[in-house]
Amino acid sequence: MNKSSQQGLTLLELMVALVLGLLIVAAGLAVFLNAQRAMGFQTSMGDIQQNANFGLSMLTQDLRHANLNTPSAQRVNNKLVGSGIAFDGVNFPSSVNTNTDDSFTAQRASDDATKGKSDQITMQFMPDVRGADQFDCEGNAMVAGRTYVYRYYVDKLPDNQQIAGSLDRFGLYCDAGFYVDSSNSVVGLGTNGQLIIQNVDAFKVRLLVKNPNGNLRYTTIDEYLALMPTSVVDEKQYVNVIGIELGLLVTSSQSIGADASFNTTTKYTIAGQEVELQDNVNNGKYLRQAITQFVGLRNTLGGV
């Protein structure tokens, strides 16, 4: 009579099998976690790129219209009526009240998520209105014969877009108004600004200017105004603006999770100016990117 015997695993073989199984599970878990981290990082980066690129393209397209069909003799400065960039009330017709003193292009004009303040830029132009499908930055239909004024500035986002525990969330807004020859104010300016880029920590502006000798240089808004004080009255001595450099510090709306410990940068350079984030323990949880765009002013000669 034949007898069959069965043999099981030895203790050593069982331990080896368990160790190999654990290694395989650990490797699979590591791949999964790395994929999750990569997805979070890529989602945050995509969020920044999509948000900033769409809004920035709208902003730059608008700024290219600055000085269009205005009585500024194709020059942009803080002296001439109709200047495509409005620095002061003198850039508007004498009959037009600009409603408030904070309607003009200014450096350090509004609070943001940094230890400093953000700039704002105010432009004006008279569009060639052809048909009923042209709208200002607030979504209002444009009307022929009106000079439109756009003010770009940083303001806090609504409460439902704030994130508990993080820095206050800000956005870049566009405020639109208009005037005609008979106006005594810029109608609509300062009343209904529309969000064009969300999650903007800072917004900076640098001007490309041309002096009477034809030399070019970049200046901040305050540096430019210092070059053109009230004592400069001879048009041959005017320093004119021929381009604008825009700088944005944009943050993600989603946390990057475990990568937060490596995301320690708090100082950034945008439009040639350094900004530093306000202190917050959760700063590292959100990805940030400095974005810069130059806009040449097409409707200007840049000099006398």
Structurally, the chain folds into a number of domains equal to 1
Q: Is residue 73 part of a domain?
A: yes
Q: Is residue 112 part of a domain?
A: yes
3-state SS class at 207 = strand
| pLDDT in the model for residue 233 | 92
pLDDT digits (tens, 9 = 90+) for 240-258: 999 999 999 999 888 776 5
Q: Is residue 10 part of a domain?
A: no
Q: Is residue 203 part of a domain?
A: yes
Measure the CA–CA gap between 284 and 221, rounded to whole angstroms. Answer: 31
pLDDT digits (tens, 9 = 90+) for 136-185: 999 999 999 999 999 999 999 999 989 888 889 999 999 999 999 888 99
The tokens for 168 are 């206050």
> How many other CB atoms are found less than 10 A from the CB of residue 229?
8
For the stretch 231-261, what's the b/e string if a residue is b when 16 or more beta carbons lie within 10 angstroms of its beta carbon? eeeeeeebbbbbbbbbbbbbbbbebbeebee
Burial class (CB in 10 A: 0-12, 13-18, 19+), 145: exposed
The residue behind tokens 């770009």 is 152
Full residue range of the structural domain in which residue 238 is found: 27-296
The tokens for 83 are 């200047």
> How many other CB atoms are found less than 10 A from the CB of residue 23?
10
Q: Is residue 56 part of a domain?
A: yes
Residues of the chain with pLDDT under 70: 1-9, 32-46, 98-101, 257-262, 302-304
Q: How far is CA 97 from CA 89, 103, 109, 184, in A?
A: 8, 10, 20, 6
Q: Is residue 3 part of a domain?
A: no
Q: Looking at the DSSP assignment, which residues form a beta bridge with residue 294? A: 245
Q: Is residue 6 part of a domain?
A: no
Instruction: Classify residue 270 as left (phi > 0), alpha (psi -120 to 50) or beta.
Output: beta
Q: Is residue 15 part of a domain?
A: no
pTM of the model: 0.84
